[in-house]
Structure 1
Amino acid sequence: MPGLRARRPPPRLRRSLGFLPAHSVLFALLGLALLPSRPVTGAPSGPEALTSSAPAAFGIVAVDSVRKEWGVATVSRWMAVGARSIGARAGAGVWLALELPDPRTGAAALAQSAEGQPARMVLDTLLAADARRGERQIAMVDRGGSVAGYTGDRCPPWSGERFGKGYVCQGVALRGGEALTAMARAFELTTGTLAERLLAAVEAAEAIAPLREEMESSALLVVREGGGLSGWSDRLIDLRVDQAPDAVQGLKALYAAHAATFLPAAYARFGDDAKRRGDTISSDREYSSADAGFRAAVARKPSDADALNELAWFLATHDRSLEEAVRLAKTAASLRPRDPILYDTLAEAEYRSGSLTRAIAAMERAVKYSGGAAHYTERLGRWTRERAALEGKPEGKPPSSP
């Protein structure tokens, strides 16, 4: 397993202060102010003395080169870590800065990576011109999947990073490197999507070195071209717990809800794109993820008409299980019998399964309950003309989809 890079821990007193309640730290510091001055072993003294004061935090940046997704997950004792310490852009890369984060540096790093510069060169260039580089910690994965990380010699101990193929784990102000080792192992051994592997990594680190005292924050960001709602942005996942007693479990709960609502539709869209390109391997992979996501949503809420409808629509429009699609659509409509959207799905499922008459009956209800919406009326008219053309012939599956 890849090696660990870190700063050496300083005297026990400084390390322990980071884990005391705020009022205890205040009294301790007041007491220390009365003692004779003495430099901390292993840290600069005088004008170059350690000035960083970041609380404990850890995180991981990584890439899924197959799906072309870049992501980061992080946890901090500071509130709202996701608002200042992470950034990513599809086709460019991802960065994490747990100590002295500067979004301008992150933006510059992504811009240089988007132009094809490797991660190591990007960080070396940016840090060479940074007068405060000794106080910074930053890691990134570039657009090609290469990684780089840096921990300045003035960062609070224990601080360091662990490198692996396509990922970097970093931590600041920890008790030691064990949390990063656990994080790396969990990321490597976990199967599933990039987001699921990132979550497993920070959960493993939290189990080894819990950051929560009274409050902590967490964030998960995964980008992919066209990953946002309706494909209008690259934000496939952008979730934050700005302050909570257990921000890791809070983040997992947010992800579960996101995975049951927005993600399946995104994966279905990715599958459609791959199918149009003629890439059946990718389309099958994306459709499998979409199918699993829609089914997980139904499993969470078996009587939710929207969850049932989304799964029915996916199955019908992708010809995966038409009989099941009809059954699910009927169940959804029975739960909310005046919703035109549900009857539209039922009509589509019936049409694709070969029952034009039942499709027309369902679409008539969609028209009725929508107050005559144009897109429902148009399809009803088309199907009615189709039935008239087939009148007197055995009912069968229409030759083409709407």
Structure 2
Amino acid sequence: MSNPLASLAADRQAGLRRGITSVCSAHPTVITTALARAVREKRPALIEATCNQVNQEGGYTGMTPADFRDFVAGIAAKVGATPDDYLLGGDHLGPNPWRKLPARAALERARTMVAAYVDAGYGKIHLDASMGCADDPVALADEEIARRAASLAVVAEAHAKKSGQALPYYIIGTEVPTPGGALESLDHMVVTDPANAARTVELHRQAFKDAGVEAALERVIGLVVQPGVEFGHDSVVQYAPDKARALSAYLDEAPGLVFEAHSTDYQTADRLRELVEDGFPILKVGPGLTFALREALYGLDAIALALDSSWREHTLAAAMEHIMTADPGYWRDYYQGDAATQRWLRHYSYSDRIRYYWTSEAAGKAVGRLLAQLGEQRLPEVLISQYLGRLYRPVVTGEVAPTAASLVRAAVDAVLEDYAAATRG
């Protein structure tokens, strides 16, 4: 298929305000729902993996880029999606997983990772060499960041040609919040200065030329900047177009480029549409999708208890609390406060650190028990209204079946619909 990213900048120049949703998740229900929507709408899905999630050493999912490709392909086959229905991307590809090593060693591993992504057929590569390594200064110089990114592009170009894969499209720039949500106060969100955006582009262009991959510049189609959106544990900074007006205007001086917006999770549908209109046609979402999935599962958990008081001995929420406290590695450094605060953050924080546990064997069994408890029965509308309010209307209108499995998928799809509405053009 032709790469759906190729026309984004030209569409904007032509006054067409359309884009694409970047689904950054490894959860099978999320990917299933995104691919089913792609088939239904006849619009390609963009499925992305991050450097920490998927790399040549397995990442936290245990999957290499080829494994993740095959994982997505297996789901695609089940929903009737063909390779033309989706594109794979790699996010924040650089030395981040190995930043505790000296720079030389970390960058060598990063090059191996980029090669693995390209060899596996990923058509979108975000080059991110912004993080310092063990022997680097606290803050890397912008020129060095660009030089390192270009060295990764050299590997990507060479491996695409050697393996016969289509040449990838690139995203550059790294002025983004902490992946997965902010850890600090959200009181001082600063939109990227247009001058900084221009400097990032110019430095990368020069670095690509110096590295001998000038031809790849025509496939550098996106720049990651901070449009002023973010979420913390219990609050969201919504997009304010007035604050980003000067940044958006920069695109008029940069034909061939668009912006990629990270941390768009929990933005309202109107704000998502405004982001696309203002030059951010690539909208990344990850925790927001698994947050919706968790809401649906916990709602079903409450329904199961309402229908059968003996379920109190088997609730999913209790099982997940046990799983997370027994293995605190994914949340301990992120959730501060007293024991009570940490407990509700584990389950309900917008940063959704619980998402790292859903694919564990223990969590899988707990979810399986819940779904088996409810089975295929039609759940009472009044309980859906009480515990799954967002899905009440599509249930009573017949759009969504009032069964447990259907309601979980519908919860994720409701979030994707906000993104689809914003990006249809």
Structure number with larger C-alpha Rg: 1
Q: Give the TM-score, by structure 2 length.
A: 0.25
Q: Give the TM-score, by structure 1 length.
A: 0.26
**Higher RCO by CA contacts (8 Å cutoff, separation 6 or greater):** 2
